[in-house]
Amino acid sequence: MNQEKKVVLASQIIDGTGGKPLEESAVLIEGSTIVKIGKKSEILKIVEHQEYDLLDYTGFVLIPGMVDCHTHHNGFGDGRLGDEVAEIPDEILTIKSSSNARIALFSGVTTIRENGPKNMTMFRLRDAIKNGIEIGPRMNLCGRPVSIIGGHMGYFGGEVTGEFEVTRFVRSLIKEGADYIKITQTGGTTRTSFPLLPAFNMDELLAITNEAKKFGKLTATHCVSTEGTINSLDSGVDMIIHSVFKEPDGTDKFRPDVAERLAESEAFVNPTLHVFRARAWEMEKLALKRPLSKNEIKLFDEHRRNFDQRLLDCSKMMEMGVKVITGSDSSWGDYKLGNTIHETECVNMAGYSVSQSFNSVTLGAAKALGMDDIVGSLEAGKKADMVVIKGNPLQEIGNLRNIHEVIFDGNIIDRGSKDSNKVYIQSPPSIN
């Protein structure tokens, strides 16, 4: 096909800017860039005496490529802990990441933010994609997450202590190619970490955020306690991941004062809702095969309870005006890459309208990454990243999973057979 000019036709185009769907319209692409969007007759008139390729998707809806603000390409999505993933050689993790990147792209996610791989694995993969060795989404990378000794995800190679070390490490990450800086400001599922305690002290945290800002880099913190969120706000972090409301004694307690600060700040919140439901789904599937042990039943109830609590807290944050975006957290735990739509549906369940939920995985997500000048919506001058789907997602958000075609950087992605694209889909037990 001619790589220079393409005309993409669709029955409806949802450009992602918040307006009504464009009927019987077209997109003019030149190389990897969108040149113009308009009525079919207008676009065809522009190119009538020129060479171009016609991509006719009459009967389908054209939308911007989706943006997932939170992925873990090193992961397997089979329930194993990050501690176990860290024991796998870097070379194998890079290969696994390559497979995950393909799956993400095939699912209509054309831009990802990676939230903490081991060592240089994702930088190496991005280089391979740039050199045409592999295919994958546009990547916003942090490199190794910044962690305290024994802290969450420290096993990936980023343990540091003190203002001098954290400053030096931020500079090293930027030298390696980091687009933003990921900080684990509380513990997490890492065996040696303490989820309820802040990780870095304020002097260290401010040293990290100030150094990142000096180089024009955004920051994001992993926070599974309220104190971690407060620390993050005090240090001017740009995105707060999880933003769990838990007191130092482990009790769940929504803090309206903290939510109000979140709403008034410039920070985005990535609530990672589905990751708990994904774990509950897998345990429910296991229960269909054999009786669960007492400990498994306890864990199952805990996952469901955590999901319900996170959904409730997210709903309250939304009501107070907190800026919530889609970030799947796949392939962490039991959440496989290629299923970003589950998180967007959870955002919808929590209280966002269908159009707000759509925005949370397109232009809103791109804004959170500081990439809205090139992706997130179909506008002249932006990258030609788009997805052809069946059904209007502004009527039913679940239509985002009805992928017909993926266009990335102006090129159609060969996704293989229709059946081959069902392999990565995760469904609840009731419809399995």
Structure confidence by residue, pLDDT tens digits, 372-405: 999 999 999 999 999 999 999 999 999 999 999 9
Residue 419 has pLDDT above 80, yes or no: no
> Which residue's structure tokens are 């802040």?
198
* Domains of the chain: residue spans and CATH: 5-64+377-431 (2.30.40.10), 66-367 (3.20.20.140)
Greatest alpha-carbon span in the chain: 72
Residue 432 has pLDDT above 60, yes or no: no
Which letter does DSSP use for residue 383 in this model?
A: B
Cis link prior to 355 (omega < 30° from 0)?
no
Taking residue 153's Cβ as centre, other Cβ atoms within 10 Å add up to 29
CA–CA separation, 270 vs 143, rounded Å? Answer: 19
pLDDT-based confidence at residue 366 (cuts at 50, 70, 90): very high
Beta bridge partners of 29: 6, 34
CA–CA separation, 62 vs 75, rounded Å? Answer: 30
pLDDT at 3: 57
pLDDT-based confidence at residue 171 (cuts at 50, 70, 90): very high
Phi-psi category of residue 367: left, alpha or beta, with phi > 0 → left and psi -120 to 50 → alpha: alpha
CA–CA separation, 325 vs 135, rounded Å? Answer: 25
Q: What average pLDDT does this structure show over 210-215? A: 98
pLDDT at 2: 45
The residue among 273, 331, 276, 274 whose CA lies nearest residue 117 is 331
Are 116 and 145 in contact, with CB atoms under 8 Å apart?
yes
pLDDT digits (tens, 9 = 90+) for 346-362: 999 999 999 999 999 99
Q: Which amino acid does the sequence have at 29?
A: I
pLDDT at 1: 45
Sign of CA dihedral 362, 368, 369, 372: positive
| Structure token pair of residue 430 | 């009731």
The residue among 100, 106, 107, 109 whose CA lies nearest residue 72 is 100
pLDDT digits (tens, 9 = 90+) for 218-258: 999 999 999 999 999 999 999 999 999 999 999 999 999 99
Q: What is the pTM of this model?
A: 0.96
CA–CA separation, 223 vs 202, rounded Å? Answer: 14
C-alpha pair distances (Å), 285 with each of 97, 136, 278: 26, 31, 11
pLDDT digits (tens, 9 = 90+) for 44-70: 999 999 999 999 999 999 999 999 999
| Structure token pair of residue 292 | 């669960």
pLDDT-based confidence at residue 420 (cuts at 50, 70, 90): low
CA–CA separation, 361 vs 387, rounded Å? Answer: 13
pLDDT at 418: 65
Strands 403-408 and 386-389: antiparallel
CA–CA separation, 44 vs 61, rounded Å? Answer: 19
Please, what is the average pLDDT of the chain?
Answer: 96
Q: How many CA atoms lie within 13 A of 236 on its CB side?
A: 12
The residue among 330, 341, 336 whose CA lies nearest residue 387 is 341
List b or e across 43-72, with b for residues whose CB sees 16 or more CB atoms inside 10 angstroms: bbebbeeeebeebebeebbbbbbbbbbbbb
Of residues 246 and 4, more confidence is placed in 246
